[in-house]
């Protein structure tokens, strides 16, 4: 452990890995390393990391499930935090009366949480079937799709601000827009969701229906991380339209750049070959964006987050 890592983490309840291969842990299975990968075991340790990193102006990023993330092959500086300790994955129900609220830690996996709810007949998150994310990442970007968004059922969110202080926001203080929220604090700790009790069999059938639709329309078996671009607003109609359909209409489905390809199954999904380069996918995204702008006059904006050594991005993935 270096002198810097000892001064930052030596007395804290954390796991620390230097020069950590975070890119290959993303859903793209490609990309570079982080100077430090830190796994705090308590909220107190996490808070202290934020305070100390701020004092020495060291960047901090949060990595959830590694979905919705491209890590450049040169990696990223500073600290990457993963909230995968039990303290950040807990699930708690309201204890009195009928089940109406469930609090879930930000580090919990969305898919596993959804299936846990389904087995118990707890409805609320089933519209998120097939969305790869941690709970915190899903809330941060208001993850969702044709069947609904996570913001539809959020009751409250707790965060750590940049000074390491806990802030709790009720639904009336939160705004959920298309793939975004008004949350500015760097770390989400937990979210409370509005839920209801339903027949577990009927709930599981609903989930199967959504899963079957995703399987038919998306390349779920490839090394991808969901949609590369947000659905843009059509300048003629003023409503959002499918980025995948636009990319397809411009003739870019199947376009290849190095080890990265625009999926032939769904044009808003990019895939990377085994042992491929994350930068190929980043550059392919730039190429697709430029060609769509030239052909249709529509500017596409990335939904996938890109981390590299030159940006100032310090917020994690979905």
Residues noted as catalytic: 179, 227, 303
- Spell out the residues 6+ positions from residue 55 whose beta carbon is closer than 8 angstroms to its own: none
Q: Is 76 helix (H, G, I), strand (E, B) or coil?
A: strand
Residue 18 near residue 36, CB atoms below 8 Å: yes
- Spell out the residues 6+ positions from residue 130 whose beta carbon is closer than 8 angstroms to its own: 111, 145, 210, 211, 214, 218, 220
Structure tokens at 55: 């004092």
158-171: string of b/e by CB count within 10 Å (b at 16+)?
bbbeeebeeeebee
Residue with tokens 């309840």: 13
Beta bridge partners of 277: none
Query: Which residue blocks in 120-199 are alpha helix, DSSP H?
Result: 135-140
Q: How far apart are CA 254 and CA 219, in angstroms?
A: 13
Instruction: Give the distance from CA 289 to its chain's centroid.
Output: 21
Continuous segment of H or E residues that includes residue 211: helix 200-217
Exposed, middle or buried: residue 274 (CB in 10 Å: 0-12, 13-18, 19+)? exposed
């Amino acid at each position: 452990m270096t002198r810097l890592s000892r001064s930052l983490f030596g007395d804290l309840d954390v796991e620390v890995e230097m020069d950590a291969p975070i890119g290959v842990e993303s859903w793209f299975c490609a990309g570079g390393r982080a100077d430090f990968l830190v796994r705090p075991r308590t909220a107190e340790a996490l808070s202290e990391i934020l305070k100390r990193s701020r004092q020495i102006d060291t960047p901090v990023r949060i990595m959830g499930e590694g979905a919705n993330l491209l890590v450049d092959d040169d990696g990223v500086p500073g600290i990457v935090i993963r909230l995968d300790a039990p303290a950040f994955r807990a699930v708690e129900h309201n204890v009195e009366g009928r089940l109406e609220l469930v609090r879930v830690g930000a580090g919990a996996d969305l898919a596993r949480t959804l299936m846990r709810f389904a087995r118990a007949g707890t409805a609320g998150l089933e519209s998120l079937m097939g969305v790869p994310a941690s709970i915190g990442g899903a809330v941060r970007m208001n993850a969702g799709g044709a069947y609904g968004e996570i913001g539809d059922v959020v009751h409250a969110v707790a965060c750590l601000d940049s000074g390491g202080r806990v802030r709790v926001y009720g639904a009336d203080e939160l705004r959920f827009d298309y793939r975004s929220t008004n949350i500015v604090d760097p770390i989400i700790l937990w979210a409370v969701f509005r839920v209801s009790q339903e027949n577990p069999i009927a709930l599981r059938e609903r989930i199967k229906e959504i899963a079957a639709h995703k399987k038919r329309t998306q390349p779920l078996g490839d090394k991808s991380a969901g949609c590369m671009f947000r659905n843009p607003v059509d300048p003629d109609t003023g409503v959002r339209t499918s980025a995948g359909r636009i990319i397809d209409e411009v003739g870019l489905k199947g376009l290849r750049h190095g080890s990265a390809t625009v999926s032939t199954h769904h044009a808003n999904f990019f895939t990377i070959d085994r042992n491929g380069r994350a930068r190929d996918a980043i550059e392919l995204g730039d190429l697709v964006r430029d060609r769509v702008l030239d052909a249709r006059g529509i500017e596409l904006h990335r939904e996938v987050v890109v981390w590299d050594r030159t940006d100032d991005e310090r917020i994690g993935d979905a």
